[in-house]
Amino acid sequence: MKIFFRFLILFTFVFVISGCSDDKITGNEKSGESKSFDLSMRAFTAENSYIPIVYKAVGTIRPKTEARIESQIQAQVRKVLVSSGKKVKKGQLLVLLDDRSYQAKLSQAKEFLKRAESEKKQAKQGIMAAEASFSQADANYKRIKKYYKTQAATARDLEKAESVYLQAKAGYTRAKEILNSTEAGIRSARQQVNEANVGLGYTRVTSPGAGEILKRMVDPGDLALPGKALFVIQTSGSLRIEANVREGLISHVKKGDEIKVSIKNPEINIGGIVEEIVPYADPESRTFVVKAAIPFVKGLYPGMYGKILIPMGKKETVLIPAKAIIKAGQLDLVYLKTDSGWEKIYVRPGMKRGKNIEILSGLNPGDIIGVKKSINKK
Q: What is the CA radius of gyration of the chain?
A: 47
What is the architecture, at CATH level 2, of domain 55-64+237-314? Beta Barrel (2.40)
Q: Are 347 and 332 in contact (CB under 8 A)?
A: yes
The torsion of the CA quartet 3, 7, 10, 16, rounded to 10 degrees, works out to: -150
Q: Is 250 exposed, middle or buried (0-12, 13-18, 19+ CB in 10 A)?
A: middle
* Domain boundary assignment for the chain: 21-51+315-376, 55-64+237-314, 67-97+213-234, 100-201
Residue 378 confidence (pLDDT) above 80: no
How far, in Å, CA of 327 to CA of 198, rounded?
73
Q: Are 169 and 207 in contact (CB under 8 A)?
A: no
What is the architecture, at CATH level 2, of domain 21-51+315-376? Beta Barrel (2.40)
Residue 125 confidence (pLDDT) above 90: no
Residue 116 confidence (pLDDT) above 90: no
Q: Evaluate if pTM is beyond 0.75.
A: no
In this prediction, residue 374 has a pLDDT band, given cuts at 50, 70 and 90, of: low
Average pLDDT score over residue span 38-65? 84
DSSP conformational letter for 335 = E
In this prediction, residue 16 has a pLDDT band, given cuts at 50, 70 and 90, of: very low
Give the pLDDT confidence score for residue 332 in this predicted structure. 93
In this prediction, residue 39 has a pLDDT band, given cuts at 50, 70 and 90, of: low
In this prediction, residue 219 has a pLDDT band, given cuts at 50, 70 and 90, of: very high
The torsion of the CA quartet 359, 360, 361, 363, rounded to 10 degrees, works out to: 30
What DSSP element (H or E) covers 62? strand 47-63
Please give the residue that has the higher pLDDT: either 5 or 108: 108
Concatenating the DSSP letter of every residue in 262-312 gives EETTTTEEEEEEEEEE-S--BTTTTEEEEEEEE---TT--TT-EEEEEEEE
Residue 24 confidence (pLDDT) above 80: no
Nearest to 214 by CA among 85, 88, 89, 91: 85
The torsion of the CA quartet 169, 175, 176, 181, rounded to 10 degrees, works out to: 150
* Tens-digit pLDDT profile for residues 276-287: 999 989 899 999
Average pLDDT score over residue span 229-242? 85
Residue 38 confidence (pLDDT) above 50: no
Average pLDDT score over residue span 179-193? 88
Lowest mean pLDDT among 15-29, 188-202, 208-222, 350-364: 15-29
* Tens-digit pLDDT profile for residues 289-301: 999 999 888 888 8
Residue 32 confidence (pLDDT) above 80: no
How far, in Å, CA of 38 to CA of 377, rounded?
7
Residue 37 confidence (pLDDT) above 70: no
Lowest mean pLDDT among 30-39, 72-81, 250-259: 30-39
